[in-house]
Amino acid sequence: MKKALLVITVATLGISSCNKDPKGGGPGTPGRFAGFETCQIIAPPSQVQLNSYYTKYTNCSGIPIIGNNAVPDDAFMVANETMEFLLQGQNAVRENLIERGEYYILVPPGGTPRDVPEFANAPGTVNSGIYWDQPRCAASNAAGLLCMVEGNPDGHANVFVHEMGHMISISGLQKIESGFLQELTQAFNNAVSTGLWSNTYARTNKEEYFSVCLQTFYEVGFPFVTEINGDGNWNSIVTRSQLQQYDSTIYNLLASRFNPSLNVPGCIQGTNYEPWQDPTINCGSTVTDIDGNVYDVVRAGNTCWMAENLKTTRYRDGSQISSITNDVSWSNANTGSWCNYANNSANGNTYGRLYNWHAVNNSAGLCPEGWHVATQGEWQALMAYANTFGNGTGGALKSTELWANENIGATNETGFSALPSGIRNADGTFEGILHHTSFWSSTPDVGATSFSYGIWENGDFTIEASQDRSRGQACRCVKD
């Protein structure tokens, strides 16, 4: 497995001790944080007059990074390293940001910038990140720096790079370079007039154009699981080489000013990262359902998964789930139902049982107490985690046993142990045992479909698709 170390060597970060003439002062004070530099995580110095919400402070680049106790220390380390990476060779920009008293806020995993005092009343939608010239600070979710997809509103995108892009552009380059704003404006207008970045967030305005393209320049903006072609956020231009060919004007603007390395600290480096492990999470080794079936448990990133397919015939409250063997009855069922593959109990014992989505969605609860059927987001996070072990996702999720001989890429490095349980089609017929498995998510899609995740023996991949809710599929539970 490839790993990206989340390590800071303090000696390489420029500032390692405090100045002798601290300034301090409240918001807007020139050089507010000058003299309060430290590469350690400390309580905010009282002289800089930060809101009492903040309990952690570090200032390794001259621009402080702050947060509260819910932000993991690792996130501060990665943020410091990333900030230094982005400011490499830009001393004039750094000095201007220090003089302006700019600072960066890390939002706790699972939160949004509205959770911090500066942006509690910010206008519009503020889900994953924000930068304002006043109060001269930026904020984004710490989860994006630590591969915590389930706690990051923007999936795997490194929003820290995006918001630092705003800070460097608006409060740095535009202030110190007389021709920069004109150059950026011309690049944006040229992109719009030639139809580039259609139906993406980059088209919002020149500032978002700059920061989206900076993420693309460093290959840290795109969703990790799949490329999205024009979804209102990203198009298929997701690498530096693609950016150079697609929009050479903005590429040249960025390449002439920013660190040329692609080795961005933190989570996203293609498949070259190691997810941060929250030490407070205790998965346990097994979990037992209402029928007494005992399942092994495996941890994937910061989520606890069953390592076996569900076998229960009863809901969590003890009520029965309908058992249906007849094809027509299965096809017509509009309430929760289960079956064994080919109506053979041996298959159920080996591969787990197949359920329609009505069982997944039943309020009585299909999973054991404290567990739930995995959501679409949790499945996407699992695929991203599996992708860290190789070039695909299916191989790291598949058991090396019981599949047909081909079983391409199977390593089961995640311990997820996916088995070829087959499916029951919406018309009641069975297919795919030994060759294919499909898992329900608890997330509905449009009409009478819901999201599911398929793995096959003939490839190292996992496919998200919407399936008819009458279909019989395997289920995996995750810990609440």
Interstrand relation of 103-107 and 137-141 (parallel, antiparallel or unpaired): parallel
pLDDT at 377: 82
pLDDT tens for 180-196 read 999 999 999 999 999 99
What is the pLDDT confidence band of residue 95, given thresholds at 50, 70 and 90?
A: very high
Cα torsion 250, 253, 254, 257 to 10°: value is -170
When pLDDT is averaged across residues 402-421 and rounded to a whole number, the result is 94
Q: What is the mean pLDDT of residues 40-60?
A: 96
Q: Which of 123-137, 197-211, 234-248, 407-421 has the lowest mean pLDDT?
A: 123-137
Read off the pLDDT band of 25 (50, 70, 90). confident
Is residue 351's pLDDT more than 60?
A: yes
Phi, psi of 378 (to 5 degrees): -70, -35
Return the pLDDT at 278. Answer: 66
Give me the percent of the chain exceeding a pLDDT of 90.
Answer: 67
CA–CA–CA angle 399, 402, 408 (5° rounding): 60
Mean pLDDT of 5-32: 55
Q: Residues near 2 by Cβ (< 8 Å), separated by ≥ 6?
A: 271, 272, 273, 388
Full-model pTM: 0.60
Q: Residue type for 66, please?
A: I
For residue 152, name the pLDDT band (cuts at 50, 70, 90): low
b/e map 322-355, b = 16+ CB within 10 Å: bebeeeeebbebeebbbbbbeeeeebbebbbbbb
pLDDT digits (tens, 9 = 90+) for 273-282: 455 566 778 9
What's the CA gap between 376 and 75, in Å, rounded? 26
Give yes or no for a contact between 169 and 213, defined as CB atoms under 8 angstroms apart.
no
Give the pLDDT confidence of 252-300 residue by residue, as tens digits: 999 999 999 888 886 644 334 455 566 778 999 999 999 999 999 999 8
Average pLDDT over residues 132-160: 75
